[in-house]
Amino acid sequence: MLASVLKLPRMQLYLNFERPLAVPELDSFRELVRRRAAREPLQQILGSTSFCGIEIAVSRHVLTPRPETELLAELAWRWVETRFGKDAAATECACLDYGTGSGCLAIAVAAKCPGARFHALDISVEALELAQANAVQNSVQDRITFIQGAGLEALPEDARFHLLVSNPPYIPTGGIPTLQPEVKDFEPIQALDGGADGLDFYRLLAAQGARVLHPGGKIMLEFGDGQAEAIQSVFEKEKWIVEAIHQDYTQRSRILVGTCG
């Protein structure tokens, strides 16, 4: 935070460690400390966070990217590299990021894979404005089409994708009041609330996702603690082939990978 107040690179902060702070700098720093003491997330205070080695601006209008979502991004770009070639810029892989929020997933995969082209869908106009700014900041804006809408029907009628990635809302409605203040008081409820059992968006994607994918298309989804078995059942009932359930850094089941029939 101090580096942000002084508008110095972190290394310059260390090199000027003994310099006394001016009164305006102290006042600015105290305000940042006050905001953090009120449980405002550090990433929102600073205005950005690192995701897969790239800088992503965040605000109260989007979910702050989590480390486990980096695993989803990595699975996605490694699949694109394997399926279409690491440097195959001329070979387009059409991808959909459902509920893009800050745009972190689409931007990270597009940054790693020159051949990836994304549609990034979100219901929030404010989230899409921030996501578009993040795409420009990371020089991938020409390969991401941002679309405002509540569901897959917002996509162009003839849109078809090789890959669908998503970190949809998955907190059960009744569990939201029990979340940490940094989450329930500062992040958008519509990015958290997954319905009574947290599975509303998985049912939607299981029922409708195959129609926007090419035959054999891939789906990769993040989900919450303890939801793996229920989500696998939801997709298998809709005739998806669930290929894998991947664990996160704490060895909790976290990501479903499936293929449409």
Nearest to 161 by CA among 205, 191, 111: 205
Give tens-digit pLDDT for 209-224. Answer: 999 999 999 999 999 9
Residue 59: pLDDT band with limits 50, 70, 90: very high
* Torsion angle of C-alpha atoms 250, 253, 259, 261, degrees rounded to 10: 170
Mean pLDDT of 48-55: 96
Q: What is the pLDDT of residue 35?
A: 84
**Sign of the dihedral through C-alpha 225, 226, 231, 234:** negative
Whole-number pLDDT of residue 2 = 46
Q: Which two tokens stand for residue 25?
A: 């700098």
| pLDDT value of position 16 | 62
Q: How far apart are CA 233 and CA 237, in angstroms?
A: 6
Q: Which residues contact 229 (CB under 8 A, 6 or more apart)?
A: none
Q: pLDDT category, 33, cuts 50, 70, 90?
A: confident
**Quick one: average pLDDT of 164-169?**
98
Q: What is the mean pLDDT of the chain?
A: 91
Asked if pLDDT for residue 208 goes beyond 80, the answer is yes
Domains of the chain: 2-37 (no CATH), 59-259 (3.40.50.150)
Q: What is the three-state SS of the chain?
A: CHHHHHCCCHHHHHHCCCCCCCHHHHHHHHHHHHHHHCCCCHHHHHCEEEECCEEEECCCCCCCCCHHHHHHHHHHHHHHHHHHCCCCCCCCEEEEEECCCCCHHHHHHHHHCCCEEEEEEECCHHHHHHHHHHHHHCCCHHHEEEEECCCHHHCCCCCCEEEEEECCCCECHHHHHHCCHHHHCCCCHHHCECCCCCCHHHHHHHHHHHHHEEEEEEEEEECCCCCHHHHHHHHHHCCCEEEEEEECCCCCEEEEEEECC
Please report, in angstroms and rounded to a whole number, the separation of the first and last CA atoms in the chain: 50
**pLDDT tens digits along 231-240:** 999 999 999 9
- pLDDT band of residue 30 (cuts 50, 70, 90) is confident
HEC-encoded secondary structure of 32-71: HHHHHHCCCCHHHHHCEEEECCEEEECCCCCCCCCHHHHH
Count of residues for the chain?
261
